Chains A and B, each alone.
Chain A
């Protein structure tokens, strides 16, 4: 704001200094908040796992590599480049089911869900929407409508989940759609079918925890 025109060197110097200082501050804040943010994510995911897998009190990470499931070094809730599933462990540390995150296109944006899955029988034992931007009052019934959510408490995923008009489900692999939220309900069914098909065989074959220890 001073009257004489500043030289280019001054401008470059000022901007470099500003960038450096800003960088220092950002690194400081990032480093100090990183462990808390990671802990929050892990706690949120672990809580979600215990909700969709009845009987589970703890979660352990597993990943799928070449059609096989193995214990993962990645923390619960942390992002990974491999498809992840979380084993729901009961108090004795026994696996009571798996919580599998899955996602797919919804009506507005990507819907991310976590569902509880018992391998072998292929039963879905719970489902929770982690993230969605479905229309309030209509599409958001996929997690606000208790009747719809109850569909997923005991649902056969084999041969595949079939959606029916509300009140007409009769078989263990059928669910009732939500009136007025057909696209969002269909999206959930599609996400679950797609994900369950990928995980069914690897999970039924059993995890190979010994391999996970070697990176």
Chain B
């Protein structure tokens, strides 16, 4: 964010999507990433719920940034975030009871997701409402994308299904470990390794191109 005129709205949004992806680049908010990526549906619902909380709280934090006294700002942020999370929790229980049952305590735990407090403190507290909402939207989209990238191989290999639909015949023996916690770490580590290799390689190529 060292541009002269500040980043454009598009780059504010797209930063979270990939370049500063909360999971794969900043590597925060990993508890839900490990816990609810055992099926694609869970990951999707979690992503949408987190997106709602992130956008709502970023907008509120940004709108109130001039009247929030510095010494108690974190407390205020937590009050705002917790309010949104409780609202999402009840709304899901009322509208999508099955998804709510599946995700269980992890909905309430959105309140301690570092991405949300992190964006409130790092971005929303210093920027106007529109960029803050765009930043939240980008981060939420990046979070959901990462959750989908982790949950898809886990569900396919661990349950032999995608979005709950069976992919293989009845003779497929699921790799149970993939839906257990170790599977989350294995998938995440594999994807981080591939991305790190890819980033390293493109940086090398760029350096080479500049040198010649």
Contacts and interface: CB of A to CB of B under 8 A. Distances in A.
A60 B74 CA distance: 49
Interface residues of B, number: 32
B179 A14 contact: no
A6 B71 contact: yes
Contacts of B97: 37, 40-41, 44
A188 to B, nearest CB: 20
B176 A15 contact: no
Contacts, number: 74
A176 B90 CA distance: 41
Contacts of B174: 137
A15 B125 CA distance: 17
B91 A33 contact: yes
A25 B60 CA distance: 13
Interface string A11-35: 1001100110010011001100110
A34 B89 CA distance: 12
Interface in B36-73: 38, 65-73
B9 interface: no
A105 to B, nearest CB: 18
B68 A1 contact: yes
Interface string B90-124: 11011101000100000000000000000000000
Interface string B155-179: 0001100000000000000101001
A18 B86 CA distance: 15
Majority-rule SS of B interface residues:
helix
B94 A40 contact: yes
Contacts of A19: 79
A10 B69 contact: yes
A159 interface: no
B69 A14 contact: yes
A117 to B, nearest CB: 24
A190 B72 CA distance: 52
B70 A40 contact: no
A30 B83 contact: no
What's the dominant secondary structure at chain A's contact region? helix
Interface residues of A, number: 27
Interface in B175-208: 176, 179-180
A22 B158 contact: no
B72 A14 contact: yes
Interface string A185-198: 00000000000000
A215 interface: no
B8 interface: no
Nearest to A31: B90
Contacts of B72: 11, 14-15
A36 B92 CA distance: 10
A135 interface: yes
A29 B90 CA distance: 7
Contacts of B159: 136
A138 interface: yes
A40 B93 contact: yes
Contact of A2 (B70, B125, B179): B70
Nearest to B183: A136
5 contacts: A5-B71, A6-B69, A29-B91, A33-B91, A136-B158
8 residue pairs, one from A and one from B, having the closest CB atoms:
A137-B176, A36-B94, A33-B94, A33-B90, A6-B69, A40-B97, A22-B83, A29-B87
Given A5-B71, A33-B91, 17 more contacts: A6-B71, A18-B75, A18-B79, A19-B79, A22-B82, A22-B83, A25-B87, A26-B83, A26-B86, A26-B87, A29-B87, A33-B90, A33-B93, A40-B93, A131-B101, A135-B180, A137-B179
